Amino acid sequence: MISPTIIRIDLSNKKVKCENIPAPLLRKFMGGKGLAAHYLYHENPPGCAPLTPDNLLAIMNGPLTGAPATNCVNFSVCAKSPLTGTWNDSHCNGWWGTELRRAGYMGIIISGQADSPVYINIVDDKVEILDASDLWGVDTFSNQAVLKKRHSTDREARVMTIGTAGERMAKLAVIFAENRTAARGGLGAVMGSKHLKAVVVSGHGKFEPADPEAFRAIRKKINKKVRTSTGVENLRKMGTSELVEIVNETDGWSNRNYTSGRDDKLSEHLDGFAIKEKLWDGGSRRRPCPGCAIQCSHLAVVQEGQYRGLTHDGPEFESITLLGSNCGIDDPAAVTAAEHLCDTYGLDSISTGSTIAFLMECYERGLISKEETNGLKLTFGSVDALIETIHMMGSGKGALAFAANGTRDASERIGQGTEDFAMNVKGLEIPAYLPQTAKGQALAYAVSDRGACHLRPWTYGKEVLGRGGQLDPMATTGKGKMVWDGQQRNAIYDSIGICKFFTYAAGLDELLELYTASTGFDMDHDEFDRVGRRVAVLTRAFNNREGFGRDQDTLPDRVMKSSSNPVTDLELDAMLDEFYYASGFTSDGIVPEQLLIELGIK
């Protein structure tokens, strides 16, 4: 059954209380992103500044988080983003959410601000706010180790923490949890603004499905699909690094600050085969999430050179691209070292790589000088420039420390027309897929509720790679409805508590069966789909309230004025019109009051 309890923690007054979640609310919003969106929409003061005590931080499991079935490991971290000013949900897999479930909780809602650094320790029904003065200034890996040693007893304590970037409220700061990250949108800065260093959890409970027999049957069915899926086999062998060669060959692999979608030389050095050969010691070192039958995560071990002996999970496709090809870097060991540094300081590797690539272009254009970079020669392909800039961003020391607030802030600081190639939407940096290559993916970046995001939805797979059908990537007709359908579907995934790689083997039919067997809710497909629609509409309404509408659903000039396959104003307008029509929004991108009432949001 669902753990229908959340913990409310008021850091200002050092108060803790638990409350049960009404069953109708669980049915309407499930958990994860959906449940967090409900609480933030109704409780966050409209217009509140993201780095103030009023901004709630919601950490929320889905109803399937911790279930003994593959991919049931996802939890959501949600707040108003300091990077974008929009709604933000960032997702994390691994052990932490499962442990929170074992402790008996669906989630935690944190308000206020502590007077001095604190951390939260949860052991089943005991919740404490403890002093973290000795931990402030400690990096993520070290802090995780210290708190595990301090609080592990008969079970290993699981640790969620921020690094020094989060402590100083850098807008690219992540939340680090058991070697996974809730990375996008600067939620580590929200945690830092509350003087909250970490949340530690240990639990002794057990997941009990409402219908054990039905649960075992659907789990068996899903595991069979996993065993026979070609997509899963490739993920298991190479992780997401398999995408480097594929996306490069389809001209969508961003390099040198998104100026091109293909570079065969860079791809040859950074693709899955190169990563496996140079970093994975034959591919035998897997680091799976609990209960996962796919096991996409690998442990990299640098074999030679100046980073020899470094061990790190990954590197994954997005980090390979943004810290590698997008910065003109072709060395897998250097990319691994850069990603490790990002995790150590607690920085989003996507936004960090994008911001450094932006600075490299500024430097090569003569828009910033060597005197303004601490003497660093900030050119594409320079490993030293990549590593040293990350150090400055993470530590807050040095001429380029400002870059830890992302491309939008950096372009405003540098000026000189640099906003044209500061590659973000609403402040969130564009991921690896070059938007000009697939018009639907470009639209998805423009209308995502958290800024440029390739996961809400990932249309590139369908438009370019032919996964789930084949569409003309350069066509615009039909893309608005496709993106809206994808947003609703992904809202289900993000609310229910599964890793999206579940969809490589199984679909919504199996997911619904798993959900009903776990929760006991007798739900049909129409109601299931309606949850996705409700959540997608709700986060759009949150953004409307914060001042976002059609004018903000746009793309950088580099995309719209590209010499190759630009997304023109006319094309974007046509796709926006279709998207708003499909979703039931006004032509200005506003959620009508009647739609909120119809969906039970108001």
Position 469 scores a pLDDT of: 67
The reply to whether 417 and 307 lie within a common domain is yes
Q: Which domain holds residue 492?
A: 438-504+523-598
DSSP-assigned beta bridge partners for residue 425: 428
Residue 1 has pLDDT above 60, yes or no: no
Taking the CB of residue 529, how many other CB atoms lie within 10 A of it?
16
The reply to whether 322 and 420 lie within a common domain is yes
The reply to whether 112 and 246 lie within a common domain is no
Is the separation of the CB atoms in 379 and 385 below 8 Å?
A: yes
Is the separation of the CB atoms in 436 and 561 below 8 Å?
A: no
CA-CA-CA-CA torsion sign (509, 488, 481, 317): negative
- Concatenated DSSP letters of 410-465: HHHHH-TTGGGG--EETTEEP-SB-GGG-HHHHHHHHH-BTBS-TTSS--HHHHTS
The verdict on residue 246 lying in a domain is: yes
For the chain, how many residues are written? 602
Is the separation of the CB atoms in 496 and 535 below 8 Å?
A: no
> 402, 429, 456: which is the final residue of a domain?
429
> 202, 221, 241: which is the final residue of a domain?
202
CA dihedral 440, 442, 446, 448 (to 10 degrees): 60
Position 299 scores a pLDDT of: 87
The verdict on residue 571 lying in a domain is: yes
Side-chain half-sphere CA neighbours of 362 within 13 A:
29
**Which CATH number does the domain housing residue 453 bear?**
1.10.599.10
Residue found by looking up tokens 């250097």 in the block: 334
The verdict on residue 371 lying in a domain is: yes
Higher pLDDT, 578 or 504: 578
Rg (CA), the chain: 22
Which amino acid, 546? E
The verdict on residue 220 lying in a domain is: no
Closest to 50 in 3D by CA, of 513, 427, 351, 352: 427
Residue found by looking up tokens 């959620």 in the block: 591
Q: How far apart are the C-alpha atoms of 498 and 156, rounded to whole Å?
A: 23
Q: Whole-prediction pTM value? A: 0.97
The reply to whether 483 and 363 lie within a common domain is no
Residue found by looking up tokens 């693709």 in the block: 271
Q: How far apart are the C-alpha atoms of 276 and 319, rounded to whole Å?
A: 15
The reply to whether 333 and 268 lie within a common domain is yes
The reply to whether 171 and 31 lie within a common domain is yes
Position 260 scores a pLDDT of: 95
Residue 457 has pLDDT above 80, yes or no: yes
Is the separation of the CB atoms in 413 and 421 below 8 Å?
A: no
The verdict on residue 130 lying in a domain is: yes
Query: Quick one: what percent of the chain has pLDDT higher than 70?
Result: 98
Higher pLDDT, 290 or 360: 360
Q: How confident is the model at residue 284 (pLDDT cuts 50, 70, 90)?
A: low
The most distant pair of C-alpha atoms in the chain lies apart, rounded to whole Å, by: 68
Residue 501 has pLDDT above 80, yes or no: yes
User: What distances in angstroms separate CA 240 from CA 43, 60, 321, 503, one per listed residue?
Assistant: 38, 26, 11, 14
Q: Taking residues 496-505, report their average pLDDT.
A: 90
Residue 166 has pLDDT above 60, yes or no: yes
The verdict on residue 583 lying in a domain is: yes
pLDDT in tens, 4-56: 899 999 999 999 999 999 999 999 999 999 999 999 999 999 999 999 999 99
Q: How far apart are the C-alpha atoms of 284 and 113, rounded to whole Å?
A: 45
The reply to whether 366 and 463 lie within a common domain is no
pLDDT in tens, 512-555: 999 999 999 999 999 999 999 999 999 999 999 999 999 999 99
The verdict on residue 369 lying in a domain is: yes
Q: Give the lowest-confidence range in 42-46, 190-194, 239-243.
A: 239-243
> 403, 429, 455: which is the final residue of a domain?
429
Closest to 430 in 3D by CA, of 181, 253, 568: 253
CA dihedral 37, 86, 161, 45 (to 10 degrees): -60
The verdict on residue 223 lying in a domain is: no
Q: At what angle do helices 383-395 and 332-345 cross, to 10 degrees?
A: 0
The reply to whether 425 and 449 lie within a common domain is no
Q: How confident is the model at residue 3 (pLDDT cuts 50, 70, 90)?
A: low
Burial class of residue 3 (count of CB atoms within 10 Å of its CB; 0-12, 13-18, 19+): buried
- Mapped onto helix, strand or coil, the DSSP state of residue 403 is helix
Taking the CB of residue 316, how many other CB atoms lie within 10 A of it?
20
Position 277 scores a pLDDT of: 85
Query: Quick one: what percent of the chain has pLDDT higher than 90?
Result: 87
CA dihedral 402, 404, 408, 411 (to 10 degrees): 40
Residue 276 has pLDDT above 90, yes or no: no
Give the H/E segment covering residue 531. helix 525-545
**Which CATH number does the domain housing residue 58 bear?**
3.60.9.10
pLDDT in tens, 308-341: 999 998 899 999 999 999 999 999 999 999 999 9
Q: How far apart are the C-alpha atoms of 217 and 553, rounded to whole Å?
A: 44
Q: How far apart are the C-alpha atoms of 420 and 581, rounded to whole Å?
A: 30
The reply to whether 424 and 543 lie within a common domain is no
Residue 296 has pLDDT above 90, yes or no: no
Give the H/E segment covering residue 80. strand 75-80
The reply to whether 402 and 447 lie within a common domain is no
The reply to whether 454 and 390 lie within a common domain is no
pLDDT in tens, 97-138: 999 999 999 999 999 999 999 999 999 999 999 999 999 999
Which amino acid, 319? S
Instruction: Give the tokens for residue 498.
Output: 């599964």
Is the separation of the CB atoms in 537 and 601 below 8 Å?
A: yes
Name, in order, each residue with C-beta under 8 angstroms of 241's C-beta and a sequence gap of 6 or more: 270, 271, 272, 275, 276, 315, 316, 317, 320
User: What distances in angstroms separate CA 277 from CA 238, 299, 303, one per listed residue?
Assistant: 10, 13, 10
Residue found by looking up tokens 């991108």 in the block: 589
The reply to whether 305 and 424 lie within a common domain is yes
Closest to 64 in 3D by CA, of 488, 500, 455, 456: 500
**Which CATH number does the domain housing residue 403 bear?**
1.10.569.10
Mean pLDDT rounded to a whole number for the chain: 95
Position 292 scores a pLDDT of: 87
Counted domains in the chain: 3
Position 229 scores a pLDDT of: 84
